[in-house]
Amino acid sequence: MSDAHTHPNYIKIWYWLLVLLAISVVGPMFEIPALTIITAFGIAIVKSYLVAAYFMHLKFEKAIIWFLLTLSIILLGVFFFGTAPDLMMTEGDQWIDCIADKSCVEQRL
């Protein structure tokens, strides 16, 4: 069983999660892409923090778990930023956009 700590008010956190869900649904109705990104993904990050910190008790967990999870997310970032240039930066002498010029299809790459 979990180490001794006071249980937070779970119902209150659930209410907040529902409010945030409502905002993430209403946000795109304004049809402003920047606002949609904030209300969809920004709110998703806040919601995931509330779930992780209070429902998963990460707020009361030992530092080693924070380290483990942060390391996983950093490695995921390495995966993204390590491969993104290969796919997206196709300008310059060293890059060939083989999808656009269809040469990779001919080379069966």
Partner 1 sequence: MHGPIATHRRATGIPTGRLAVWWLLASEIFIFGGLVTCFLLFKLNGSPGFEDAALTSVTAGAINTFVLLTSSLSIVLAHAAIENGDRVKTFRYIWYTIGGGLIFLGIKTYEYTGKIVHGHVITENLFWSFYYTMTGLHALHVIGGMVIMALISFDIRKGYNFQRVELIGIYWHFVDLVWIFLFPLLYIANF
**Binding positions for partner 1, rule: CB under 8 A:** 1-2, 7, 10-11, 14, 17-18, 21, 24-25, 27-28, 33, 36-37, 40-41, 43-44, 47-48, 51-52, 55-57, 61-62, 64-65, 68-69, 71-73, 75-76, 79-80, 83-84, 87-88
CA–CA gap between residue 35 and residue 32 (Å, rounded): 5
**83 vs 103, beta carbon nearer partner 1:** 83
Burial of 68 (0-12, 13-18, 19+ CB in 10 A): exposed
Angle at 70 between CA 81 and CA 10, to 5 degrees: 125
Residue with token string 């001794």: 4
* Shortest Å distance, C-beta 36 to partner 1: 7
**70 vs 103, beta carbon nearer partner 1:** 70
**80 vs 107, beta carbon nearer partner 1:** 80
Task: Residue 17: name the closest of 71, 70, 67, 54 by CA.
Answer: 54
* Shortest Å distance, C-beta 107 to partner 1: 19
